[in-house]
Structure 1
């Protein structure tokens, strides 16, 4: 499999959000996909939006930072090196939903780069090491500079293979999410079964 090497800034637009969780008069109401939402999810989809924080922002910010299918978001600033550069794939175009503070949004050139593949690639140890070596700051906060973001080395095969790889990782994540949901609901199921047993025993 032939791989081509690019700098991410050459095959995608990268923008850093400054939208905070405060609500201000005169601004538009929005749902805010924040650091925690990005950090804890392989992908962001429509069914998650209701759980997002309510905030406001300008029409310009809504235009720039709206979450569209195929984009990738990742954490840019944090108290520890291990928590920066954590990506998530935007699986659906989310109405009136924007990316929040301490995160960066990547808009891939879809003729060259698949967002699903990029998400999987940014989870690799190869890129984790790159972020670790290039993070700036010490003690209280670490960050990734725009220069570091634009120079992220991306190794990509053909678009066809990218989509196949991205699809495989997405399928795996769906199975993990399903298992997590089942495990989360097991205590409730167990209590319900015990209640039924008690009623039958009475």
Structure 2
């Protein structure tokens, strides 16, 4: 961690919202001499989960929670699952039933290291190794905090297969260092208090981000349908989901003010084609603007495709396919003149003819348009937005000069809100780093929490 990050973390920690850690460094070797080097297997019984045959519905019911890695989150000790085993499922798996307060660790796949604790007797699948902690010697809550600091070690001891695996014996042989039981409990209690404070502050900041995002959306909705003058005379738009608009505005379908061009340029590179830079789905989904500074992948296309789909300043691009309907119709605006950039597959290019592209972009960002696209998408496992649905989108159309005023206003205001959101996100990132660092320092004896109240 850099000095700057440490300073930023201290600023947040010392702000008075989070109480300062009063623990001092452990003094010399005398205090640490009571800590013992053991292995994970010494903590209790290590149990690897198992999935009963899924074809037998009798094994599944509502008796014992059945925990899988997808139920677990990185920074939550508790876990909720919608899957349960029946009594028959338990009989099939009875040697793998975990007691309350067992510590469960994901040991297969990309999410190795995710850790949780059981709150009731439970069963896990085979991707999870768990410890039924010997509570006469070890505090299970201390064990939980200790093991969430071992993700890097788990990755390092995983086999080198395509899917990394830490088997039961390897997991049990991981070396750890633990203090006497009373100190374990003191550390666990200390971390319970401190992480609760940090988590509450994170929750407050996440709520702040939600409110800023709602403010951003409301601002766009208001500007693109009502304009900037609160005293302007209004009239019915004739479109129920648009509502009233300023009396001097009109309403037109998108196909009457722009060309709609669904792209068929895929991401493969063919040597006999024109070599280009490709604006892909993720470039659109994660960016409000495509500029000369946007990093784009290389691609290729035919001459006729280049003539049709080469991007120009003022173009609008939207996502037209997705696994969920709410990810369809996400727009971006081409803000600069671009050299040799082509619109890629799963996207539709909107080229303005009789309306400002920046206004079209903002209207497509509005909640009203998002709902229109969701309703008009089709599919079951994958959703698509047809050309006709895009063409028939109805838009309120202000005079040209007012379109520019609205676009400039929204550029300024959304940038201000985005900067506030980014600042809150940065604080959350720092708080999470501080949380992890505090846990690591406490469970390894780098801070003495015995006198912390």
- State the TM-score, normalized to the length of structure 1: 0.83
| Farther-moved stretch of structure 1 (62-71 vs 171-180) | 171-180
The CA distance in 2 between the partners of 1:172 and 1:83, in whole Å, is: 24
Q: CA deviation at 1:28?
A: 1.1
Tell me which structure has the larger Cα radius of gyration.
2
The residue that corresponds to 1:155 in the other structure is: 396
Q: Given that residues 8 and 151 in structure 1 are in contact (C-alpha distance below 8 angstroms), is that contact kept between their aligned partners in structure 2?
A: yes
SS at match of 1:46: coil
Q: CA deviation at 1:146?
A: 1.2
Q: Given that residues 15 and 105 in structure 1 are in contact (C-alpha distance below 8 angstroms), is that contact kept between their aligned partners in structure 2?
A: yes
The residue that corresponds to 1:60 in the other structure is: 304
Counterpart check, 1:35 vs 2:281: yes
The CA distance in 2 between the partners of 1:65 and 1:176, in whole Å, is: 33
Counterpart check, 1:96 vs 2:340: yes
- Higher RCO structure, 1 or 2 (CA under 8 Å, sep 6+): 1
Q: CA deviation at 1:170?
A: 2.0
The residue that corresponds to 1:79 in the other structure is: 323
Aligned counterparts, 1:1-202, within 5 A: 1=246, 2-48=248-294, 51-109=295-353, 112-138=354-380, 140-175=381-416, 180=422
SS at match of 1:113: coil
Q: CA deviation at 1:172?
A: 3.3
The CA distance in 2 between the partners of 1:97 and 1:4, in whole Å, is: 34
**Consecutive unaligned residues in structure 1, runs of 5 or more:** 188-202
Instruction: Give the direction of change, closer, same or farther, for the CA distance of 1:92–1:65 in structure 2 (3 Å limit).
Output: same
Q: CA deviation at 1:43?
A: 1.1
The CA distance in 1 between the partners of 2:371 and 2:338, in whole Å, is: 31
The CA distance in 2 between the partners of 1:63 and 1:181, in whole Å, is: 42
Moved runs in structure 1, 4+ residues, more than 3 A? Answer: 172-184
The CA distance in 1 between the partners of 2:340 and 2:321, in whole Å, is: 24
C-alpha RMSD of matched pairs (Å): 2.0
The CA distance in 2 between the partners of 1:59 and 1:172, in whole Å, is: 40
Q: Given that residues 23 and 56 in structure 1 are in contact (C-alpha distance below 8 angstroms), is that contact kept between their aligned partners in structure 2?
A: yes
- State the TM-score, normalized to the length of structure 2: 0.38
Q: Given that residues 116 and 170 in structure 1 are in contact (C-alpha distance below 8 angstroms), is that contact kept between their aligned partners in structure 2?
A: no
The CA distance in 1 between the partners of 2:322 and 2:398, in whole Å, is: 32
